A and B are shown apart, each in its own frame.
Chain A
Amino acid sequence: MDRSVALFVALVFLALALVPAVAGPFGIDLVSKIMIYAIFALSLELLVGSTGLVCFGQAAFFGIGAYAAVLLPAQYGALSLLWILPACVLCAAGSALIIGSLALRTRGAYFIMVTLAFAQMAYYVAHDTPVGGGSDGIYLTVKPVLGTWLDLDKPVAFHGFTLACQAAVFVFLALLLRSRFGRALAGIRVNEQRMRATGFSTYPYKLAAFVISGAIAGLAGFLFAVKDGFVNPELLSWHLSAAVLIMILLGGLGHLHGALVGAFAFALLQELFQSETIFGSFAKHWHLGFGLTIIASVALLPRGLVGVPGQLRERLLGRSARNAGNTHDESF
């Protein structure tokens, strides 16, 4: 990660830390939601952007983390955050291990469709079986606490905790991608055949990436369940899987900070199109403008929002800058 990106990320985290000082309850709630989206988007960035595995079922792990946050305390009584958070993440990671070990037997378009189908399976388990409480979902009655000094029921405390999680995930992934493991994932993305020829057994690497990604998505799901205090099957729906894919593509694939930018851009676009002050009664048809924006951004911004400065530079300086500035591979 070069210096300007590191500076940008540091500024983003600083700005997020200052939000409770300047924003009202609505602002804090919105920013907390966006940070959860950002953690979710980071989890998928590890798979799609870094490893080249297009997973269309990421909502499954988000939803499993969220359902675990509600079902485990209901089973065992009110619990400490120290216990419940790792348990939820483990649930998501465990399901990612099972789904991943099957789905990774396939590749390309099959992988996209198979992950989608497994996520639908999880959706129907939540929707139809007695475990999931049906389409109405379940309420979280007691929010987890950590001793006496962290009460996640308070918006400011929740904001701080989410920010800390987001920072931890970001740093963890940044270090992971620089490690030997991360380099192997990049190798798999660029040319899996060649990686195998070099003597890497690629399947365990891909499975490990899938499980880590699922665990992080589960963390995001846990936070989401605690924030809103209830879960419903929509948290596992394929619309959420599509939304998080849109986030990372909108931000810019292949960059961790792209996932952050994408999550913010996505949530703000959603707020914009849903805003009744701007669109009046047409706001209930917000999917129309939103869908057109998705199409336009995929068509016009192939490198996402973080690629816009580079695209502008190319437009202004012509071809020479394209050859010089194009260090990030376009193999995706």
Chain B
Amino acid sequence: MDLTTFLVQCLNALQYGLLLFLVASGLTLIFGIMGVINLAHGSFYMIGAYMAYALAPIVGATFGGGFFATLLAGVVLSVMLGYALEWAFFSFLYDREHLQQVLMTYGLILVFEELRSLLVGDEVHGVSPPELFAGTLPLGGLMTYPVYRLFISGVCLALAAGMYVVFTRTRLGMMIRAGSSNREMVQSLGIDIKFLYRVVFAAGVALAVLAGMIAAPVSSVYPGMGNTVLILCFVIVVIGGIGSVRGALLAALLVGAVDTFGKVLLPQAAGVLVYVLMALILLWKPEGLFKAG
């Protein structure tokens, strides 16, 4: 592998890892704060990708279109979806056993997949990137790199920075951090923990949907696309330490790198490598790199 190919793969690994981080951060937050193992989190990524495909014509007809208008519409819809789902379904799961949470959210995956099949069908769709980012950048004379992938990395980095600011510099972030370490204490200090849960859940859903929407032009849109991402995000959450956003970021970048370079260097074992990485890290640190709380 020459230097240019190596650079291209590094950029790809970074982009993939950051994208996985967006989904995994919601998963780890929902687990860390509410104690819910949410298998349906991958479905939100899938829903996001299908939104990018299905909303674009609708937004185009009503608001004159535009990639960012579609993104905005998707985020608004996903916050509403997350808020409603938390109210209708997840609020019943908080004091349930992990096993029951796993099975109920698994049932939810089946329901989401079938609703998707009924509403949009089972075909594979492509989504074209916005014209603004459709071009490529020359790289080392022979190679080029699509601008859109850089845009994905940029959006993810901006969101990660935004999350950092929210967590460490705002009152809401303080309440979230406090809620994850001691639920009852936060409640007795007069903070509406139910509302906090709803906000965190809606934010987690919005992050996963947004990840799906911006990933759609690169990965295309297909049935079952949430499942691969879900299980990779589980690996990320386990490696990073459940509930730790910082751990999720580091683990997502690791997983992105191992997966991307695995596909190039050892294509036959690419699927397995990520799990080998997880096994090695668990041998070293059974509770992940950064255990929260």
**B92 is an interface residue with CB less than 8 A from chain A:** yes
Given contacts A124-B275, A128-B271, A130-B268, contact A110 B238 (CB under 8 A): yes
Which residues of B are found within 8 Å of A105, using beta-carbon distances? 282-283, 286
Segment at the B interface, from A10-18, A65-73, A88-96, A290-298: A290-298
Smallest Cβ distance from B196 to chain A, in angstroms?
A: 21
Given contacts A108-B98, A121-B275, contact A245 B103 (CB under 8 A): yes
Which residues of B are found within 8 Å of A246, using beta-carbon distances? 103, 106
For chain A residues 88-118, which have a beta carbon within 8 Å of chain B? 102, 105-106, 108-110, 112-114, 116-118
Question: Which A-chain residue is minimally distant from B92 (CB atoms)?
Answer: A299
Question: Which A-chain residue is minimally distant from B89 (CB atoms)?
Answer: A295
User: A43 vs B86: C-alpha distance in the bound complex, in angstroms?
Assistant: 34
**B109 is an interface residue with CB less than 8 A from chain A:** yes
**B174 is an interface residue with CB less than 8 A from chain A:** no
- Residue interface mask B61-103, A partner, CB < 8 A = 1: 0000000000000000000000000000000100001111011
Q: Is the interface of A mostly helix, strand, loop or mixed?
A: helix
Contact A113 B237 (CB under 8 A): yes
Name the contact of B231 in the complex, choosing from A102, A129, A238, A293 (C-beta under 8 A). Answer: A238
User: A121 vs B118: C-alpha distance in the bound complex, in angstroms?
Assistant: 32
Which residues of B are found within 8 Å of A138, using beta-carbon distances? none
Which residues of A are found within 8 Å of B276, using beta-carbon distances? 121
Which residues of B are found within 8 Å of A242, using beta-carbon distances? 102-103, 106
Which residues of A are found within 8 Å of B98, using beta-carbon distances? 54, 108-109, 112
User: A114 vs B97: C-alpha distance in the bound complex, in angstroms?
Assistant: 17
Smallest Cβ distance from A131 to chain B, in angstroms?
A: 10
Smallest Cβ distance from B109 to chain A, in angstroms?
A: 7
Given contacts A102-B282, A113-B237, A285-B117, contact A128 B92 (CB under 8 A): no
**B156 is an interface residue with CB less than 8 A from chain A:** no
Which residues of B are found within 8 Å of A124, using beta-carbon distances? 271-272, 275
Name the contact of B114 in the complex, choosing from A125, A288, A294 (C-beta under 8 A). Answer: A288
Smallest Cβ distance from B278 to chain A, in angstroms?
A: 6
Contact A291 B242 (CB under 8 A): no
Smallest Cβ distance from A110 to chain B, in angstroms?
A: 6
Interface range, B side: 35 or more
- Residue interface mask A252-279, B partner, CB < 8 A = 1: 0100000000000000000000000000
Name the contact of A128 in the complex, choosing from B111, B115, B272 (C-beta under 8 A). Answer: B272
User: A291 vs B113: C-alpha distance in the bound complex, in angstroms?
Assistant: 10
User: A292 vs B108: C-alpha distance in the bound complex, in angstroms?
Assistant: 8
Contact A117 B275 (CB under 8 A): yes
Contact B114 A287 (CB under 8 A): yes
Contact B231 A128 (CB under 8 A): no
Contact A287 B238 (CB under 8 A): no
**A332 is an interface residue with CB less than 8 A from chain B:** yes
Given contacts A109-B242, A288-B111, contact A249 B117 (CB under 8 A): no
Contact B234 A249 (CB under 8 A): no
For chain A residues 121-166, which have a beta carbon within 8 Å of chain B? 121, 123-125, 127-130
Smallest Cβ distance from A185 to chain B, in angstroms?
A: 17
**B31 is an interface residue with CB less than 8 A from chain A:** yes
User: A290 vs B107: C-alpha distance in the bound complex, in angstroms?
Assistant: 8
- Residue interface mask B115-150, A partner, CB < 8 A = 1: 101100000000000000000000000000000000
User: A120 vs B287: C-alpha distance in the bound complex, in angstroms?
Assistant: 20
Which residues of A are found within 8 Å of B287, using beta-carbon distances? 106, 110
Name the contact of B113 in the complex, choosing from A127, A130, A287, A302 (C-beta under 8 A). Answer: A287
**A35 is an interface residue with CB less than 8 A from chain B:** no
Which residues of B are found within 8 Å of A106, using beta-carbon distances? 238, 282, 286-287
Contact A290 B92 (CB under 8 A): no
List the 9 closest pairs (A to B, CB-CB), nearest first. A124-B271, A291-B110, A294-B107, A121-B275, A288-B114, A295-B107, A291-B111, A287-B110, A291-B107
**Residues of B near any A CB (own CB < 8 A):** 31, 37, 92, 97-100, 102-104, 106-111, 113-115, 117-118, 227, 231, 234-235, 237-238, 242, 268-272, 275-276, 278-279, 282-283, 286-288
16 A-B pairs besides A113-B237, A116-B234, A290-B110 with CB distance below 8 A are A102-B283, A105-B282, A106-B238, A106-B287, A110-B286, A110-B287, A113-B235, A114-B238, A117-B231, A117-B278, A242-B103, A245-B99, A290-B107, A291-B107, A294-B110, A295-B104
Q: List 24 A-B contacts (CB under 8 A).
A: A54-B99, A102-B283, A105-B283, A106-B238, A109-B31, A109-B98, A110-B242, A110-B286, A112-B37, A113-B235, A114-B238, A114-B278, A123-B271, A124-B272, A127-B271, A129-B268, A249-B103, A253-B99, A285-B114, A288-B118, A294-B104, A294-B110, A299-B104, A332-B97
**Residues of A near any B CB (own CB < 8 A):** 48, 54, 56, 102, 105-106, 108-110, 112-114, 116-118, 120-121, 123-125, 127-130, 238, 242, 245-246, 249, 253, 285, 287-288, 290-295, 298-299, 302, 332
